[in-house]
Structure 1
Amino acid sequence: MQPIKKIPARDRILTTAHDLFYLDGIRATGIDRIIAESGVAKVTFYRHFPSKNDLIRAFLEYRHQRWIAWFKGALERHGQDIHAIVPALAEWFHSEQFRGCAFINSVGELANELPEVCEITRHHKQHMIQVISELVPQSTHRDELINALAVAIDGAIIHAQYDTTPENAVKAVDHIIAALIP
């Protein structure tokens, strides 16, 4: 791991914001805390991100790239077929860092103040659907199955946030896949 000062300031700010926004929420995380924890000067912060909204947009893009790369890798690790979704989700839900979907959480926090978050979230979810579609076999109702599965995954993500164990959400997705894709 590189010493923190060797990492460019913009990257330090973005990774710090990513961790804090995902862990504590966007509204609950102030700019002063991000500045302090990233070890940059206030002027440096504002040179890279003129407003918190600019940082939020950058955070969501960064999160999108990281999550999609992780999701593709997890699907590959677990067999690269439709059934790989279940252990991939279980892997994520059981991680210590799991705090649900950063995009769903952001819509809940910011849709009224920053409507752009909804568009960013739609883009992220469409990319997730594209990744899932590569796993779903051809059938008459393939597009409907893919969309149903995406909604089920989003529901499982939310369920895993509040249930005492993520296993219930994982099992539900497994049952849904079995019912949708014989």
Structure 2
Amino acid sequence: MDTATAREQALDAAEMLFYGRGIQSVGMDDIRGASGVSLKRLYQLFPAKEQLVEAYLERRDVRWRGGLAAYVERRSDPEERIIAVFDWLEEWFAEDDFRGCAWINSYGELGARSQRVADQVRTHKRAFRAYLASLVTEAGLPEALTGPLYLLAEGAMVTAGITGDTRPATEAREAARALLAAR
């Protein structure tokens, strides 16, 4: 097995296990078993579990933000693109394997002890906020709407992760509509 394949298999297993069970409850031997990559090879690829967590979050970030952007871009109206963020969140929350926001979960588990994890989480959250800011700008709306829209989305993620319900996205979407109408 070449290095790229071993890395992808390890990251696939890490994502499934870390997101499904939590980072601290998953050991490198669990990753080995789920990935088929030997423990020796795992440690060659990721000398510490923290590095594997960092790579998992980086890869998930690219896919998560890419999926969101692709969904939003299907809307032609700039204000509806903002609302589409909440539509996308609702679809995500309805997925069978939804376990909340991977970055919030990771920060809750490791953020106080791992600067690498905290940095990954902050990078992801800054990028998401910047994306919302770009949508607000494209719609010609006041920049001051970015913060409240961001908090609505983040609050929906936390609440949906805890409740296992899609309703937080619906409620956040309606609050976003009210914010846009009140401008």
1:132-151 to 2 correspondences below 5 Å: 132-136=132-136, 137-139=139-141, 141-142=142-143, 144-151=144-151
Equivalent residue letter for 2:63: R
Does the 8 A contact of 1:78 with 1:88 survive in 2? no
- Structure 1 or 2: more helix by fraction: 2
Distance in 2 separating the partners of 1:164 and 1:118: 25
**What residue number does 2:59 align with?**
62
Distance in 1 separating the partners of 2:51 and 2:116: 11
**What residue number does 2:7 align with?**
10
Distance in 2 separating the partners of 1:87 and 1:156: 12
Distance in 1 separating the partners of 2:99 and 2:74: 22
The CA RMSD over aligned residues, in Å, is 1.8
1:6-155 to 2 correspondences below 5 Å: 8-77=5-74, 81-136=81-136, 137-139=139-141, 141-142=142-143, 144-155=144-155
Equivalent residue letter for 1:170: A
Displacement of 1:146 after TM fit?
A: 0.7
Displacement of 1:23 after TM fit?
A: 0.8
Distance in 1 separating the partners of 2:6 and 2:175: 45
Q: Residue 148 of structure 1: SS of its match in structure 2?
A: helix
Equivalent residue letter for 2:149: L
Distance in 2 separating the partners of 1:59 and 1:133: 26
**Any stretches of 5+ residues in structure 1 without a counterpart?**
none
Does the 8 A contact of 1:78 with 1:87 survive in 2? no
What are the superposed Cα offsets for residues 122-177 of structure 1, whole Å, 9 maximum, x if unpaired?
111111122222322224x41x311211111111011112225312x022212221
Point out the more displaced range, 127-136 or 50-59: 127-136
Q: How many residues align?
A: 175
Does the 8 A contact of 2:100 with 2:161 survive in 1? yes
Displacement of 1:68 after TM fit?
A: 0.8
**Any stretches of 5+ residues in structure 2 without a counterpart?**
none
Q: Residue 61 of structure 2: SS of its match in structure 1?
A: helix
Displacement of 1:18 after TM fit?
A: 1.0
**What residue number does 1:171 align with?**
170
Displacement of 1:25 after TM fit?
A: 0.7
TM-score if structure 1 supplies the norm length?
A: 0.88
Distance in 2 separating the partners of 1:54 and 1:164: 29
